[in-house]
């Protein structure tokens, strides 16, 4: 089944073509035929964050050229597509409507099914687009700009929430801290680059909720601690402060993820979402998990942040079970992952 995936929930337009008929015997190991991405980051950088109206308008400009591009790159035509998956939520309502409207209209014109995909399900299943995908069950650490959650995943759509952030998301904490340190938007990659040049042991920042005995997180206090430190030390110490922040945030993420695995007797941990691109997190998690007999699975680096491939993949799982198809549609700017239907 050839599935076109369309992502437009925030500041990246992603389109991909995924073929579910693949496997070891096929020349297509992962099933991903082509993917294309346009990032609006430069446009929003002037404003220090995403401007929803500008995001929607830019998605309109990009979505069809990107679709033509993935079709051309994979040597396929519209007539070859069997189904269309689009991000239905959570995200910015106007931005979501662009992808949903385009996907539904195209599916209607081609007389094929379309399915709305949960953005975080896309992230969470993205490590499965691999030659060596993890088997179910696994624990998933979802760390994006808007969400920080630990989930027990026993199948597609079988998600149990173990814990989540009570305030800021991990990516949001990276972004806000980066802003305090005078770095651009989104701050995660810039902060992590600066942290690599700093001394993480010079300042000690709090590890919020490290010993709370549950799988919840809190990052807003950490951001306040950084603000206090910046006021006291000045921006000349930015590299050491960045390193201290990253060490604190990563330690909490690593310890809670491993505790969630122990609690669920899981031997596989999947990390997904933009913060999953963080090198320090990857190094520490892989090392400490290995010491406990836990294997860690990451998406390809380019699929940590928003992309169309993860939406095509998650949509293909649902379309294969005949989900999707009716012609009405509504986007869901707010949507709980644990309420999804199992396939
Ligand atoms: O998953 P994503 O692309 O978008 C959402 O669905 O939110 O995640 C974006 C977030 C941003 O907050 C960004 O700063 C963060 O991921 N991020 C990073 C890194 N790369 C992206 N945070 C820390 N280290 C990185 N290398
Ligand atoms: Zn995302």
Q: What is the pLDDT of residues 209-237, one digit of tens each?
A: 999 999 999 999 999 999 999 999 999 99
Per-residue pLDDT tens over the stretch 246-291: 999 999 999 999 999 999 999 999 999 999 999 999 999 999 999 9
* Mean pLDDT of the region 70-97: 97
Contact between 323 and 343 (Cβ < 8 Å): yes
- The pLDDT, as a whole number, for residue 205 is 96
Token readout for 67 is 């679709």
Ligand 1: does its nearest atom lie under 6 Å from the Cβ of 122?
no
Phi, psi of 334 (to 5 degrees): -120, 135
Tell me the two tokens of residue 200: 């993480």
pLDDT tens for each residue of 118-142: 999 999 999 999 989 999 999 999 9
- Among 145, 187, 195, 302, the mutation site with the greatest number of ligand 1 atoms within 8 A of its Cβ is 145
Q: Structure tokens of 215?
A: 């799988």
Query: For ligand 1, what atom is nearest to the CA of residue 12?
Result: 3
Q: Distance from the CA of 222 to the center of ligand 2, in angstroms?
A: 22
**Which residues, 6 or more positions from 315, have their beta carbon under 8 angstroms from its beta carbon?**
3, 5, 18, 83, 84, 85, 86, 115, 117, 324
Does the beta carbon of 67 lie inside 6 Å of ligand 1? no
pLDDT in the model for residue 28: 56
For residue 24, the model assigns a pLDDT of 52
- Could you tell me the two tokens for 70? 């993935």
Atom of ligand 1 nearest to the CA of 147: 7
Instruction: Read off the pLDDT band of 185 (50, 70, 90).
Output: confident
Distance from chain centroid for Cα 309? 11
List residues, by chain if needed, whose CB lies under 5 Å from ion ligand 2.
144, 306
Query: Does residue 330 or residue 66 have the better pLDDT?
Result: 66
pLDDT in the model for residue 221: 94
- Hey, what CATH class is 2-125+304-339 in? alpha beta
pLDDT at res. 76: 97
Beta strand spans in the chain (E): 2-7, 12-19, 32-39, 83-89, 114-118, 138-143, 148-155, 158-164, 268-272, 295-297
Considering every ligand atom, which ligand is closest to the CA of 50? 1
Q: Is the pLDDT of residue 27 over 60?
A: no
Cis peptide bond prior to 90, omega within 30° of 0: yes
pTM for the model: 0.91
Quote the pLDDT of residue 329. 79
Superfamily of domain 136-298 in CATH is ATPase, nucleotide binding domain (3.30.420.40)
Decide whether any atom of ligand 1 lies within 6 Å of the 189 Cβ. Answer: yes
Ligand 1 pocket residue status of 276, Cβ below 6 Å:
no
| CB of residue 94 inside a 6 A radius of ligand 1 | no
pLDDT value, residue 288 = 98
Give the atom of ligand 1 at the shortest distance from the alpha carbon of 171: 12
Domains of the chain, residue spans:
2-125+304-339, 136-298
CA distance 179 to 243: 15
């Amino acid at each position: 089944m050839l599935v076109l995936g369309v992502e437009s929930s925030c500041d990246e337009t992603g389109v991909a073509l995924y073929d579910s008929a693949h496997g070891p015997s096929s020349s297509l190991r992962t099933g991903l035929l082509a993917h294309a991405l346009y990032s609006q980051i430069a446009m929003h950088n002037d404003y220090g964050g995403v401007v929803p109206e500008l995001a929607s308008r830019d998605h309109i400009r990009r979505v069809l050229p990107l679709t033509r591009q993935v079709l051309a790159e994979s040597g396929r035509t519209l007539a070859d597509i069997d189904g269309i998956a689009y991000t239905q939520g959570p995200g910015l309502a106007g931005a979501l409507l662009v992808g949903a409207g385009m996907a539904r209209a195209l599916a209607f014109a081609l007389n094929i099914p379309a399915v709305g995909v949960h953005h975080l399900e896309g992230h969470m299943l993205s490590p499965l687009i691999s030659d060596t995908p993890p088997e179910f069950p696994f624990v998933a650490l979802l760390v994006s700009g808007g969400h920080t959650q630990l989930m027990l995943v026993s199948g597609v759509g079988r998600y149990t929430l173990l814990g989540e952030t009570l305030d800021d998301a991990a990516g949001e904490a990276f972004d806000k801290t980066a802003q305090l340190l005078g770095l651009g938007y989104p701050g995660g990659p810039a902060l992590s680059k600066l942290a690599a040049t700093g001394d993480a042991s010079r300042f000690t920042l709090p590890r919020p909720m490290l010993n709370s005995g549950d799988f919840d997180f809190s990052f807003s206090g950490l951001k306040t601690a950084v603000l206090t430190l910046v006021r006291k030390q000045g921006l000349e110490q930015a590299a050491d402060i960045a390193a201290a922040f990253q060490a604190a945030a990563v330690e909490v993420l690593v310890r809670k993820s491993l505790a969630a695995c122990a609690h669920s007797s899981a031997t596989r941990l999947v990390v997904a979402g933009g913060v999953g691109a963080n090198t320090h997190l990857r190094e520490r998690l892989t090392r400490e998990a290995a010491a406990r007999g836990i294997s860690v699975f990451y998406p390809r680096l380019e699929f940590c942040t928003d992309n169309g491939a993860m939406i095509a993949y998650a949509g293909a799982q649902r379309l294969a079970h005949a989900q999707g198809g009716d012609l009405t549609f509504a986007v869901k700017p707010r949507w709980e992952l644990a309420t999804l239907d199992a396939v």
